[in-house]
Structure 1
Amino acid sequence: MGTLMMCATHEDEAGSVNYIFEMYRDEASYQIHAGSPQFQRYAEFAQKVVQSKEIHKLNLEMIQTNDQALEIKGENPYFARLLEVTTDYSKLETLKNISRDTIASFVSNTDPGHWVIIDIFQNKSTMKKENISQQLSKISTEYSIHELDIDTMVNQASLKLE
């Protein structure tokens, strides 16, 4: 199975700001997915409703999920946090350990110095109990935090980056 994780989220109450995260084992796995009939149907639908989009290819530095594969849709307690941080590579270990109590965590960069961390939490209160701003301010003055409601998510269990 080349698809490691897919997650659709929304940031605002109206659902007009959405983030979709997809992770694949390799480029070949992505191409298989992109050529699938369901992806083609989605792409056709998305052209009608999506007003703007950005696609970022990430260089994965760390991936960690718990022992349970998740299949989530509709109302659920799970919550996601997207962190975007500008800091140098020497802070990678700090970034890998910045999140606590996650059921899944993905640390990657888009280019040297720009990091993206996606964390999945059991619920919003678990996510809120960490003071992430205080931790981030110790390593960077340039960061953003996005708190995201999860609409749909599937992932493989026990993922680790070797």
Structure 2
Amino acid sequence: MKLLKKPIFSLYKLTIDPKNRQDFLAEGMNNLITSHRNEAGTLMMCATHEDEAGSVNYIFEMYQDEASYQIHAASPQFQRYAKFAQKVVQSKKIHKLNLETLHANDQVLEIKDENPYFARLLEITTDYSKLEVLKSISQNTIASFVSNIDSDHWVIIDIFQNKSTMEKVNISQQLSKISAEYSIHELNIDTMVSQDDLKLE
């Protein structure tokens, strides 16, 4: 799907009590899978966790435009998820991302339950002149998204077929050449859905 304008792209960090983990996973999966199957404007959604207990969760969502987002926000599955999240989410941080580049394989993705897929979230402080370098960091990915929160704060999200593929490249060495301020989050993917062949024109 060719995108003629920048989509709505958001990053959520949600913290929960691990005792609510299984219910949180189930509600999130229902929201993502149902939205993917019923909403053409819901382009990509990915739910991940960082720690072994599953208390720290990162969720990425992309919508074609504001109208598509509003369709999702009003949907029964999201309303159910939002009601559940109010009870179990202990803290929440939201970043609206300005997507600069997008790469994705030409296939529809619907990944759930146990799976080998892995995500890497990079947060980097550097200036806009380093965009080409930031774009070159992503290698061997099935999808990658280079975005910024403001002119100096960058977020790169990479999706890999498995963890070993992700670990083949020394990212720290590359990042240290352009910035002293960065963080790397290695994320287990719980559920991920995507439309096929996403391209930002």
- Tell me the TM-score normalised to structure 2 length: 0.79
- Counterpart-to-counterpart distance in 2, 1:160 and 1:88: 24
- Counterpart-to-counterpart distance in 1, 2:125 and 2:93: 18
Instruction: Map 1:9-158 onto structure 2 (within 5 A).
Output: 9-158=48-197
Structure 1 gaps of 5+ residues are: none
- Counterpart-to-counterpart distance in 2, 1:133 and 1:93: 17
The structure with the largest helix share of the pair is 2
CA deviation profile, 1:22-41 (whole Å, cap 9, x unmatched): 01111221111111111110
Structure 2 gaps of 5+ residues are: 1-39
Q: How much does 1:102 deviate? A: 0.1
3-state SS of 1:59 partner: strand
3-state SS of 2:166 partner: helix
Matched letter for residue 11 of structure 1:
E
3-state SS of 1:126 partner: helix
- Counterpart-to-counterpart distance in 2, 1:96 and 1:29: 27
| CA RMSD of superposed structures (Å) | 0.7
Q: How much does 1:121 deviate? A: 0.1
Is the counterpart of residue 2 in structure 1 residue 41 in structure 2?
yes
CA deviation profile, 1:94-145 (whole Å, cap 9, x unmatched): 1111110000001111111100010000000000011000000111111000
CA deviation profile, 1:8-29 (whole Å, cap 9, x unmatched): 0000000000001101111221
Count of residue correspondences? 162
3-state SS of 1:108 partner: strand
The alignment-based identity, stated in percent, is 84
CA deviation profile, 1:28-74 (whole Å, cap 9, x unmatched): 21111111111110000001110000111100001111011110001
- Counterpart-to-counterpart distance in 2, 1:109 and 1:39: 26
3-state SS of 1:43 partner: helix
- Counterpart-to-counterpart distance in 1, 2:127 and 2:67: 30
- Counterpart-to-counterpart distance in 2, 1:24 and 1:113: 24
- Tell me the TM-score normalised to structure 1 length: 0.98
Q: State the partner residue of 2:5.
A: none
